[in-house]
Amino acid sequence: MHTFTYLTDPLYRDLYWPAVLTGLALAGLCSMLSVLVVLKRLAFIGQGVSHAAFGGVGVAAMLGLVGTGTAAAAGGQFGIVLAFCVGAALLIGWLSERGGTEADTAIGIVLVGSMGLGAILLHHARSTQSWESFLFGAIINVGWIDAAIAGGVAVVVLGVLVALRRPLVFWAFDRAVARSLGVNDRAMNLLVMVLLAVTTVTAMKLAGVVLATALLVLPGAIALRLSGRTGAVLGWAGIAALAGVVGGLVLSFELDWPTGPAIVCVLAGLFGVVKGWEGVRGAMGMLRGGRAG
């Protein structure tokens, strides 16, 4: 088995263990947020925030931080892009909450506006360096520092989610009840937007936009079809994300598939299985009802 060899052989394990640990950290991080994403119909928030990063890359290029190859410039570029994406997420939250704009429309407006700004800034900066590597990372290429970053972000974001779990759950499942209990609706919305921005920028840098979006949508979609109880939904989301990452990594190692797409396919397959089981269970219920009648 290639998987066993890659993870135990001294010649390979330092190459592949960072990808495994990064994938597990992103699975734990994104799975909890994915429930909120699905419940609040923010499925395209990952795409919106990740493409808004293009504007941040343009700002970094104007400041001369793109393509220098130094660690300080790379850190500065990441900080600028992160700040830009947090601002974009807050703008999406403001437009959807107070601007009278539907969430999906707000995401589209910020997405195209940020990409247009980024294109203009890159043109004026006359940057010849490729920006695609920042927006479309590959999880199999990450190192130990990247794994540590993923783990650190996961600890911080999950810590915030645990600390504020009660108001967040009320806000996500029933806003009217949340308001009656004194939960600040707008504050919760903006907090979730910030957490999603931080998570999306980290995930897309390390794993790519497609995988980041899949991890922010599919675990929650799977979990909400398996249970309606809050604790069970969060548990199933975590299990689905971990199964997707582990299954995708194994397929990548064994069949030489691209790692990110392999994880996405496993997650999509799990959703298909759950959806199919839901249909079978519904058909069996109808048959039992017909016989009883």
- Say which CATH architecture domain 2-288 belongs to: Orthogonal Bundle (1.10)
Most confident of 105-109, 112-116, 268-272, 278-282: 268-272
Question: Is residue 6 scored above 90 in pLDDT?
Answer: no
Each domain of the chain, given as residue ranges in start order, spans 2-288
Residue-wise pLDDT for 186-229, tens only, equals 888 889 889 999 998 888 888 887 888 899 999 999 999 998 88
> Per-residue DSSP letters for 72-85?
HHHHHHHHHHHHHH
> Per-residue DSSP letters for 32-57?
HHHHHHHHTT-TTHHHHHHHHHHHHH
Split at pLDDT 50, 70, 90, the class of 75 is confident
Per-residue pLDDT at 228: 81
Residue-wise pLDDT for 132-173, tens only, equals 555 556 788 888 988 998 999 999 999 999 999 888 888 887
